[in-house]
A and B are shown apart, each in its own frame.
Chain A
Amino acid sequence: MNQPVPSLIHRSPKTLFPYLFTALFLLAFIDSWRRAGIEPMVLFAAKGRGNVWKFLSGMFPPDLSWNFLSLMFRPTLETIQISFLGTLIAVIIGFPLGLLGTHTLMVRGILNEAELQGVPVRRSLRYAIYFLARGVLSLFRSIPEFVWAFMFVRAVGLGPFPGVLAIGVAYGGMLGKVYSEIFEGVNDRPLEALQSLGANKLQIFFYGWFPQALPNFVSYTLYRWECAVRASAILGLVGAGGLGQQIEISMRMFNFNEVLTLLMILFLMVAGVDYLSARVRAML
């Protein structure tokens, strides 16, 4: 981890890389600067300054009236519900796909050596399943949850439902990939021992694989749940329920004090979820 800067090692055999990298970096920088339309002065010009001031001063004091807070109660709950159900669906999607996308389990590895040698058909079938699972996972997680949400809104209508689906699909892809990494990191010596005493694949899974993977597995799922709370809070921006919808409305109405209140609610909610998941982690 704490390696010294390895520039010497890299530079001596391949002298080209640093120069090429610098040139490409500069090129990307200049082009991106132009394309992204970066004008730092806009913020400080009269109009920008006015807007910044309007926004900052408009935020205070936050709207803590009971009237507004009681209205926000339901969207807050909805946000948590979306995140919870979304993560659940993500696990349901990610777990089996993650298993099928685990190289040590499906293709390589000591566990298959005695099985696969000289059986090319079975071997290529396993490879096909493995690549298919990987491909589906990569597709699911490469498309941002916002785009999923937007499409699901179109497909099944407004409300929390598309939010749940969006989080389920997008996070299912992420969970699946990380699950397969966790499974690949499992120490396979105990698995070899179990195999050598005649256990079948499922038994090896439950006696050796699963207990070893469980803490990382739970911990990462909880982490994704924390992320899902944040995501579901803002998925409402595209009409998928939860707090996001309220944030957008308040923003469009220039009620910045409400925005501040909503951000505070968001902060408390996220902190609460972080606390809860930290407690569950400590139990492992």
Chain B
Amino acid sequence: MNDLQQQYRLEEVRKVFGRHQIALDGIDLNVQRGEKLALIGPSGAGKTTLFRLLNCTLRPTTGKLWLDDCDVESLHGKRLRAMRRQIGTIYQQHNLVQRLKVVHNVLAGQLGRWSTPRSLMSLAKPADLGLAHKALEQVGIADKIFERTDELSGGQQQRVAIARVLVQDPEVILADEPVSSVDPTLASTIVRLLIDISESTRKTLIVSLHSVDLALAYFPRVIGISHGSITFDLSPDKISEAMLEGLYAGNDREQPATEAVNEPASPIAYPSIS
């Protein structure tokens, strides 16, 4: 019974690009079904790579990733697609097709359910206009439904991306920096919207955020990531200022240090190494 509640289980997951570029360095993580959690950490910490592993775009280089108690290593073709359908992703750069109309981008959320001919027909004549309209209404831009996507502002495009996930109606929602391109008030609106969706349908929600305040204010579980590994995994009331400072400041301190390894020059400039 307890096992059925498990959405994600990661054991010692590493992802290495090319030969030496280590993006993730041994991640252990358990996520329960219906849980809401926020990832924070400096840029380049590996959050985006983690998301791409979680939504089955990339495979871990080493380590194990179980999704719904299913080892993703064993997934191919149809079953892989079926699994992907259960995971909705909102990307930092929206990842919308700029030249398509908003309605098609939103209805693309249905692609996992539609047959190929049906999805083709839909490009000529939107197949489920009502659904698209409802999703766009939920994010507050129903009037843009027939605009071309590249005519929308960044914030509006972000909401189109959220509407796409609404249409997809997945079990898990992953959101990679969903509010990095909108103003602060809208940012909290969007985060609250995501939380509402998650709570009303008991979807698992994983969000990475630049804004620590938003993460601490809205999420019961906050994970700090830097340099491809998890530094803390706690509820917000247990997270101290010092931990946050360590999370971000550690980044500043190490960046020049790694450079200094290549440069045999002055130990005076970086006394911390010696």
List chain A positions with a Cβ less than 8 A from chain B: 110, 113-115, 117, 119, 189-190, 192-200, 202-203, 206-208, 211-212, 214-215
Contacts and interface: CB of A to CB of B under 8 A. Distances in A.
Contacts of A193: 89, 91, 95-96, 161, 164
B152 interface: no
Contacts of B164: 193, 197
B90 to A, nearest CB: 9
A162 B48 CA distance: 55
B41 interface: no
Contacts of B134: none
A190 B97 contact: yes
A284 to B, nearest CB: 9
Interface string B34-56: 00000000000000000010011
A212 B109 contact: no
Contact of B58 (A113, A197, A207, A212): A113
Interface stretch (B78-86, B136-144, B201-209): B78-86
A25 to B, nearest CB: 38
B178 interface: no
A189 B91 contact: yes
B146 interface: no
Interface stretch (B112-120, B234-242, B253-261): B112-120
Contacts of A194: 108, 111
Nearest to B87: A196
A215 B148 CA distance: 15
Contacts of A211: 97, 99-100
Contact of B116 (A117, A197, A198, A203): A203
B104 A207 contact: yes
Given A115-B80, A203-B119, A206-B119, A196 B96 contact: no
Nearest to B92: A189
Interface of B: 52, 55-59, 72, 75-77, 80-89, 91, 93, 95-100, 104, 108-109, 111-112, 114, 116, 119-120, 123, 161, 164-165, 168, 170
11 contacts: A110-B58, A114-B75, A115-B76, A192-B95, A194-B111, A196-B87, A197-B109, A203-B111, A207-B104, A207-B108, A214-B99
A192 B88 CA distance: 12
A126 to B, nearest CB: 14
A196 B84 contact: yes
Contacts of B56: 114, 196
Given A113-B58, A206-B123, A207-B100, A198 B95 contact: no
A189 B95 contact: yes
A85 B170 CA distance: 48
B55 to A, nearest CB: 4
A114 B91 contact: no
Nearest to B99: A211
Given A115-B80, A197-B108, 8 more contacts: A197-B85, A197-B170, A198-B81, A202-B116, A203-B119, A206-B119, A206-B123, A207-B119
Contact of A190 (B52, B96, B112): B96
Contacts of B104: 207
A215 B99 CA distance: 10
A49 B52 CA distance: 74
A200 B81 contact: yes
Given A115-B80, A194-B108, A197-B108, A206 B120 contact: yes
A66 B98 CA distance: 54
Contacts of A200: 81, 111, 116
Contact of A203 (B59, B88, B114): B114
A113 B57 contact: yes
